[in-house]
Amino acid sequence: MKLISILDHLAAAPATAAPAPRRALLAQLGRAAVAALPLGAALPAAAAPADTSYDAVTQLLQLERTQVALYTQALAATGLIPAAQTADFQRLLAHQTQHAALFLKALQDAGAIVPALPRFDFSGKHGVATNPELFPNVLTNYDAFLALAQQLEDLSVRLYQTQSINISDSQLLRAALRIHAVEAQHSAHIRGLRKGRGAVVQNWPSEEDTAIVRPAAAQALTTAATGGEENGVQYVTPGVPIPFASLLLISTNTAIHDPALAEAFDEPVSSAAAQAALNLFV
């Protein structure tokens, strides 16, 4: 019963002074779950640098549910997705549905409480008609929809990267790493669709991409999707950056263009930044 280890960290997590995002809520949920697990209390203490496995799985579940809802609503919106691309989005929906099912089952198998399915609102109005519309026309204008889909897929790649470090169960980790790659293919495809429609965008986040303009109140999405992707510094050990300046200088390929350095690495996103973005749609 390997999936029980999802709760390893949670069972042993100390009440730190600086709790991870959503820790209070999750600890509350988790205690109920752990109570149902006879082995829970015997698990070793571990330094939890960020989220627990439980945090990771519930956040990934919310991410996948968000994408399932977006593609479901988009495919149901008459005239939004061109006929030639319907199959693409059916595939995207199928994959996200399969991913959501995996994490749902992981929580259920561990005896953990499963967060209720939120009611998603992609206008950014949080279901309140008088609230400002943060994402106009995303279910009526194809370009607006693609921009939102791209940002969620970019966020998805980055969040899997972040949370795979936090997933302690080896079986679930293998799945997360394989899903991470699939999300990257999704993102590359949607970026390609936008490129084909004239947007200045690469198949990978690039400083050459034209920024997707959002109102200030929706900036959390842009931050979570691509904020920090321009990072050109990578570390081998904490505080010791790889000396790209000298490494790439001696390259026999002298024509490397500058943005390639940052493009060659997708950057993780903090779970707090990701959560702020996901909260825009519930």
Kindly list the residues in this chain that would bind another protein in the complex (CB under 8 A).
49, 85, 87-88, 91, 94-99, 102, 157, 160-161, 164-165, 170, 173-175, 177-189, 192, 202-204, 234-238, 242-244, 247-248, 251, 253, 255-257, 260-261, 263-268
Chain-centroid distance, C-alpha 187: 11
Asked if 149 and 143 count as a contact pair (C-beta separation under 8 A), the reply is: no
Nearer to another protein, 55 or 64 (CB): 64
Nearer to another protein, 210 or 253 (CB): 253
What is the nearest approach in angstroms of another protein to the Cβ of residue 169?
A: 12
What is the nearest approach in angstroms of another protein to the Cβ of residue 133?
A: 31
Nearer to another protein, 15 or 236 (CB): 236
Nearer to another protein, 121 or 183 (CB): 183
What is the nearest approach in angstroms of another protein to the Cβ of residue 270?
A: 13
Nearer to another protein, 47 or 116 (CB): 47
What is the nearest approach in angstroms of another protein to the Cβ of residue 186?
A: 6
- Cα 220 to Cα 208: distance, rounded to the nearest angstrom: 21
What is the nearest approach in angstroms of another protein to the Cβ of residue 90?
A: 11
What is the nearest approach in angstroms of another protein to the Cβ of residue 195?
A: 8
Nearer to another protein, 14 or 49 (CB): 49
Token output for 166:
């936090």
Q: How far is CA 97 from CA 109, 172, 224, in A?
A: 18, 17, 22
Nearest 10 degrees: CA dihedral of 142, 148, 152, 154?
A: 90
Asked if 103 and 171 count as a contact pair (C-beta separation under 8 A), the reply is: no
Nearer to another protein, 119 or 174 (CB): 174
Token output for 237:
């050990």
Token output for 40:
């829970």
Nearer to another protein, 33 or 68 (CB): 68
What is the nearest approach in angstroms of another protein to the Cβ of residue 37?
A: 24
